[in-house]
Amino acid sequence: RDDPSYSTKYSRPTTMETENMPPKVNSIEETYQKLDQREHVLKRPDSYVGSVNSWSTNMWVFEEERDEEGAVVSGSHQLAQKPISYVPALFKIFDEILVNAADNKTRDPEGMTWIKVSIDQDAGVICVANNGKGIPIRMHAKEKIYVPELIFGNLLTSDNYNDDKKKTTGGRNGFGAKLCNIFSTKFTVETADANVGKKFIQTFSANMTQKTKPKITKYSKEDYTKITFWPDWEKFGMTGLDDNTVALFKKRVYDMAGCTDDSVAVYLNGKKLPVKSFQTYVKLCKKSLEAKFGARRNVEFISVNDRWEVAVCASDGQFEQVSFVNSIWTSKGGTHVEYISDQVCKSLEKVIATKNKKGTKIKKHAIKQFLCVFVRSIIENPSFDSQTKDALTTLKSKFGSTAVLPPAFLKALASKKVGIVDQVLALATFKSRKIGKEGTKAKNVRGVSKLDDANKAGTAQAHKCTLILTEGDSAKTLAVSGLSIVGRDYYGVFPLKGKPLNVREARYDQIAKNDEIQNIIRIMGLKRNVEYTAENIKTLRYGHLMIMADQDHDGSHIKGLIINLIHWYNPS
C-alpha cells in the first residue's frame, strides 16, 4: 500500500464500474462447439459409462468369510449385499472388458476354455484375458490399419451392427472396450491369431490420444486375447483402487463364472473360482439373503432350457432381483425379470385366492414384493435403457426364446418351506387388522404398565393432549416431575425400553407380538386406515406426540424409529 504505483498496478474496477460494464458476450465460436467423439465421451461421460462421481448404495459384492477373531477363512467364497461407495463409470469400463471376454465364448464355443482376471490393487492395473478365438491380425483393406487397432482404438467399430443376424453377445453399439481405453492412462491390446501364426501387441496412452506402432511377431500356440489397462484415476476423482471397488470387481468375476457354462474355467488373481454353474452362484448369495431377512431361505432353482435359468425365494416385503442378459449384469432388471416374476405372481395369485376366500383380493403387485428372483438369460440382439445397460428393454416377443416355468416348479414356490404364500397372507391379515390391535378413543387404556395417562386423554379435549415418550424409566421420572408444574390434564408419559422396533424391516408377526409398538398404537388411539385430517386428529386419544430422548446417537435413532413407526402405520 505504500507503493505509489499500487493503485495503477493492482486496481480493480469499483462496484459502480462493474455494475455499468456490459455483460460479457460469448463469441459464436465459444457458444457453438464441435467435439470429436472421444472428446464428447470425456465431456459427457454419463451418456456412455455413467457418473464419474462416487455413489453410495447397497450393492452385491464379494466378501471373504471371517472367523470370530476376524481372520479370513481359507477357501471362503461369499457374495453379500452391503452399503458401499463406488464410481459407476469406473465399474462400467471394467465391465465392458469383462463382457467382451465372455462374448468370445459365443463366438468360439468349442475352443474357449478359460477367462483369467487379475486385479492388482497396489499397482492400480487390471488385466482380463481369454483363450477364445483371437482377433484377426490382418490389415483392414478400407481403413488401412490392423483389425485389433481398428476395434480397440476407434469408436463406433463393431462386428455387432448386422441386426438381421441373431446375436447373443453383450456388445451392440460399437463403444465397449474403447470407453475403457478413453478412460485409461495406458491400455494394452495383446492378441494371437493361430490362423496366420502371428501375435499382435499395441499400447494406447493419454486417454486414447497416443499409440505405439503395433508389434507383430511369429506365434504358434493357441489363440488368446488379453487386455491390460491402467484407469485414469483423476477422471474418477480417485487416487487408486479402493477396497469397495475391488470387492465389486471381484463380484463381477464371480458373475462370469456363474453365467458361463462349466466348460469355461474362470480364474481370479491366479485362482480358479469354485463356481461351475448358475445354481452354484445363487448358493453363494443365499447366506447374505438369510442374514438380511433374518430366517432360513429355501431357494427353488430350475434350468428351464439352455437360455434360461431361474431361482426364486421369499423376500421380506421388498422385491429383490439379481439378473443377467448375455453375461451383462442388469442391476435394475428389465423385461426379462418381469417375464419371470409375472409367471410366478400369476401362479401364486391363484393359490392365495383359495386360502384367502374371506379376505380382500390380493393382486400381483402385492405378491411381487415378497419375491427374490435370480435370472440368467440369453437374449437375441438385446436392447437396453442406456449404454450402461442397467435394464433390458427388449420386448418379450423379441427374446428369441421362451421360458415357461413348469407347474412342478410353481407348485414348489407355493409350499410352506419357501414361505412366499404365508408372507403374503400375513400381510393381508395385518392390513385387515387381524394382527395386533388398533387404537380407539377410549377414556382409559387398560393393561399398559408404566403409562401415566393424561386426565383429558380420550375425551373431547384429547386433541390438546401430548403424549411424552421418554428414553427409559429415568427420563420418565424427570418428565413426571415436570407434571407437578404443568399439570396432568394435558400431558401423559410412557417410557420406552430402549430403541423401538424398526417396523419397516420387521416381519409382521414380530410387529404383532411387540408389546411396545402395540402399546404406542393403543395409547395414541391410532387407526391404520384413517386419513387423519385436521378434524380427524380429534378422534385420537392424543393430538400431539413428544419424543424426549438424550441428545446423542441413540436418542437420534430413537427419534427416527418413532417417526418411522408413525409414517409406516399411518402416513397421514
Helix (H, G, I), strand (E, B) or coil at 386: coil
Confidence grade of residue 21 (pLDDT, cut at 50, 70, 90) = low
Closest listed residue to residue 194, CA positions, set 214, 220, 217, 171: 220
Q: Is the dihedral of CA 237, 242, 245, 249 positive or negative?
A: positive
Mean pLDDT over each residue of the chain, to the nearest integer: 86
Distance of CA 558 to the CA centre of its chain: 28
Query: Residue 178: is its pLDDT beyond 80?
Result: yes
Over residues 398-420, mean pLDDT: 94
Share of the chain above pLDDT 90, in %: 54
Which range scores top for mean pLDDT: 38-42, 296-300, 337-341, 427-431?
337-341
pLDDT tens digit sequence for 244-282: 999 999 999 999 999 998 899 999 999 999 999 999 999
* Mean per-residue pLDDT, 282-286: 90
> Buried (b) or exposed (e) across 359-373, using 16+ Cβ within 10 A?
eeebeeebbbebbbb
Least confident of 74-83, 263-272, 338-347, 488-497: 74-83
Band of the pLDDT at 438, cuts 50, 70, 90?
Answer: low
The number of CA neighbours under 13 Å toward the Cβ of 522 is 19
Q: How confident is the model at residue 7 (pLDDT cuts 50, 70, 90)?
A: very low
For residue 13, pLDDT over 60 is answered with no
For residue 1, the model assigns a pLDDT of 43
pLDDT at 2 over 60: no
10 Å CB burial of residue 164 (0-12, 13-18, 19+) is exposed
Amino acid present at 288: S
Q: How far apart are CA 326 and CA 382, in angstroms?
A: 9
CA distance 132 to 102: 9
Report the C-alpha gap between 199 and 220 in whole angstroms: 9
Three-state DSSP class for residue 330? coil
Decide: 326 and 100 in contact? Cβ < 8 Å: no
Q: What is the pLDDT of residue 372?
A: 94
% pLDDT > 70, the chain: 86
CA 4/CA 298 separation, integer angstroms: 86
| CA distance to 12, 13, 14, 181, 463, per residue, from 3 (Å) | 16, 19, 20, 54, 74
State residue 16's pLDDT score. Answer: 56
C-alpha cell at 103: 462374448
Mean pLDDT of 523-549: 88
In the block, cell 456363474 appears at 258
DSSP state of 510: H
- Check whether 440 has a pLDDT greater than 80: no
Per-residue pLDDT reduced to its tens digit, 215-243:
999 999 999 999 999 999 999 999 999 99
The residue whose grid cell reads 470407453 is 179
Instruction: Give the C-alpha separation, 218 to 196, whole Å.
Output: 9
Confidence label for 8 from pLDDT (cuts 50, 70 and 90): very low
The 8-class DSSP code of residue 481 comes to H
pLDDT at 434: 47
Predicted TM-score of the model (pTM): 0.70
Is 260 in contact with 112 (CB distance < 8 Å)?
no
Nearest to 479 by CA among 541, 543, 540, 549: 549
Q: Which of 105-114, 274-283, 377-386, 441-450 has the lowest mean pLDDT?
A: 441-450
Average of per-residue pLDDT across 153-164:
61
Map grid coordinates 400375513 to a residue: 426
338 neighbors 371 (Cβ within 8 angstroms): no
- How far is the C-alpha of 124 from the C-alpha of 102, rounded, in Å? 23
Q: What is the mean pLDDT of residues 53-75?
A: 77
Q: 131: phi > 0 → left, psi -120 to 50 → alpha, else beta; which?
A: alpha
What are the backbone angles phi and psi of residue 530, rounded to the nearest 5°? Answer: -95, 135
